[in-house]
Amino acid sequence: MAASLRLQLELDQALGLGDAPWGAPLAHGRGDGRAMSRAATADQHTSAKHSAGASAAKGNPRGSAMMRPPDPPHPATPASVSAHQPQIDFALEDTVPPDLMRAKLQLPLGPAPADREARMREIAIAADVALAPYLNQIATRVVFGEGDVNARLMFVGEGPGGEEDKLGRPFVGRSGQLLDKMIIAMGLTRESVYIANIVKLRSADLDESTGRLKDRIPTDAEVRRGIEFLDLQIETIAPAVIVTLGATALKYMLGRQENVSRVRGVWQAYRGIDLMPTFHPSFLLRAYTPENRAKVWSDLQAAMEKLRQKG
């Protein structure tokens, strides 16, 4: 499979075509909720972000109190996990969006833990404990992330959608299927990389007109709840390259608002780790043009080249 994709790439290059090896048209149908709820712009975020932020600012979050419970001041620890709670320093209240990660960005990575598997298990348990009070009818489980804890390449997306929430795994909906194709085109497997999100709980509102849940961009408060766990995951894996998917991942990984169209293809850094921004697969699904596929493919090729250079 990987070999045939490589062959196709070589052919494309020989013919002067830049399109991605997964470029065959995708079957039409409903996208994942996250993809379908987005504005079809590369940066996706303006309208949804403003509506979420504005309603929260009015003290009137969209959806009923049942759908979006207020933040409990002292999250209760579920009995089932409290016995195993690891000692993880988790203090986010002093971080201020949108500079959430900025202080961290200056810190070089420490040495990777001796036992990465064990450390990742500890972090997962800590995330379960810390995020349990925020579970509700929308976010029914923590979607922690998955993959090889020794991976050299890590993908960071925005947050789980409906499918991910159902299965407790990142990127398993329609945009996940496209991400899988992208990974295979890179000559890798999903199991050999690590995939995580900025938030570990689904962010969605009830669309009163349809009665359906509509995924939306997570608020800063939602990001603040769990982003420390992403940072701990990155410290544990210490990947050689991070690829951010979409504007939300980019914003919080860089500690500033950036336009994906402007900075994609340009190397950035997160705590000394090379970071390549690219479009989110859900954007690509909505704007599935050869030009956009070629841009993403070129970003992924840059990531592969960097991995090769780093040996």
To the nearest whole angstrom, how small is the minimum distance from the Cβ of residue 164 to ligand URA? 4
- 144 part of the interface to ligand URA, by CB under 6 A: no
To the nearest whole angstrom, how small is the minimum distance from the Cβ of residue 212 to ligand URA? 17
| CA–CA separation, 109 and 274 (whole Å) | 12
Residue ranges in 153-172 that form contacts with ligand URA under rule CB under 6 A: 157-161, 164, 170-171
Span interacting with ligand URA, options 152-160, 227-235, 254-262, 293-301, rule CB under 6 A: 152-160
Closest residue to ligand URA, judged by C-beta, is 157
To the nearest whole angstrom, how small is the minimum distance from the Cβ of residue 200 to ligand URA? 10
| Dihedral sign from CA coordinates of 303, 308, 310, 311 | positive
| CA–CA separation, 87 and 14 (whole Å) | 55
To the nearest whole angstrom, how small is the minimum distance from the Cβ of residue 16 to ligand URA? 33
To the nearest whole angstrom, how small is the minimum distance from the Cβ of residue 281 to ligand URA? 7
**C-alpha to C-alpha distances, 29 to 173, 174, 288, nearest whole angstrom:** 12, 10, 13
| CA–CA separation, 17 and 298 (whole Å) | 12
- 197 part of the interface to ligand URA, by CB under 6 A: yes
- 226 part of the interface to ligand URA, by CB under 6 A: no
* Cβ closest to ligand URA, residue 34 vs residue 45: 34
Tokens 């995951």, residue located = 233
* Cβ closest to ligand URA, residue 9 vs residue 153: 153
CB 125 within 8 A of CB 84: yes
Number of residues that bind ligand URA (CB under 6 A): 14
Q: Which of 19, 34, 68, 278 binds ligand URA (CB under 6 A)?
A: 34
| CA–CA separation, 252 and 258 (whole Å) | 10
Which helix (H) or strand (E) element contains residue 82?
helix 79-82
| CA–CA separation, 256 and 208 (whole Å) | 33
To the nearest whole angstrom, how small is the minimum distance from the Cβ of residue 249 to ligand URA? 7
CB 218 within 8 A of CB 158: yes
* Nearest one of 54, 43, 31, 44 to 205, comparing CA atoms: 54
Q: Which of 8, 37, 175, 203 binds ligand URA (CB under 6 A)?
A: 175
* Nearest one of 233, 236, 237, 261 to 247, comparing CA atoms: 261
To the nearest whole angstrom, how small is the minimum distance from the Cβ of residue 126 to ligand URA? 20
Which residues of this chain interact with ligand URA, rule CB under 6 A?
A: 34, 157-161, 164, 170-171, 173, 175-176, 197, 282
